[in-house]
């Protein structure tokens, strides 16, 4: 089964809307000086130095505009890569992959679990195998 045209269009529009809304929310929060609470990674947050540096963005409309674009581009890149994996035009760099199919849910289908429920927990698997760099997303040593 394939994804219907209506569901495909709705999904793609919703993804673009989410990219814009998340980018705007974060940029606007920084502009207002409200700070930003981050949900990723699960134990993420800012060091005191990072939190202080973000305060420098308060009230700067040009930075807010530029930051919105950077955040939206980043989020859109992730969504685009995810769709490429679903389409079978690329493969993940880690783990095995046999391709997947996105399709309309049959009326009699019983839910078998949800990817969004497992997403944040999978960070720890990624953290264990990711190349070590000179910075990290989480606050653990």
DSSP-derived letter for residue 117 is H
Distance (Å, whole) CA 40 – CA 123: 8
Surface-to-core class of residue 27, CB atoms within 10 Å of its CB (0-12 exposed, 13-18 middle, 19+ buried):
buried
In a domain, 107, yes or no: yes
The model's pTM is: 0.86
Residue 140 lies in a domain: no
User: pLDDT digits over 59-118, tens only?
Assistant: 999 999 999 999 999 999 999 999 999 998 999 988 888 888 888 988 888 888 889 999
Tell me, yes or no, whether 45 lies in a domain: yes
135: in domain: no
pLDDT tens digits, 19-30: 999 999 999 999
Which residues constitute the domain of residue 90? 5-129
141 within a domain of the structure (yes/no): no
Domains of the chain: total:
1
């Amino acid at each position: 089964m394939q994804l219907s045209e209506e569901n495909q269009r709705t999904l793609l529009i919703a993804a673009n809307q989410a990219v814009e809304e998340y980018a705007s929310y974060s940029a606007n929060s920084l502009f207002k000086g409200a700070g930003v609470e981050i949900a990723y990674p699960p134990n993420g947050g800012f060091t005191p130095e990072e939190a202080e540096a973000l305060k420098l963005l308060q009230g700067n409309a040009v930075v807010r505009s530029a930051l919105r674009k950077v955040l939206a581009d980043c989020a859109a890149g992730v969504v685009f890569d995810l769709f490429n994996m679903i389409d079978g035009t690329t493969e993940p760099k880690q783990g095995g992959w046999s391709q997947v199919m996105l399709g309309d849910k049959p009326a009699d289908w019983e839910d078998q679990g949800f990817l969004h429920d497992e997403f944040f927990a999978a960070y720890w698997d990624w953290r264990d195998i990711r190349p070590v760099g000179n910075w990290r997303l989480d606050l653990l040593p």
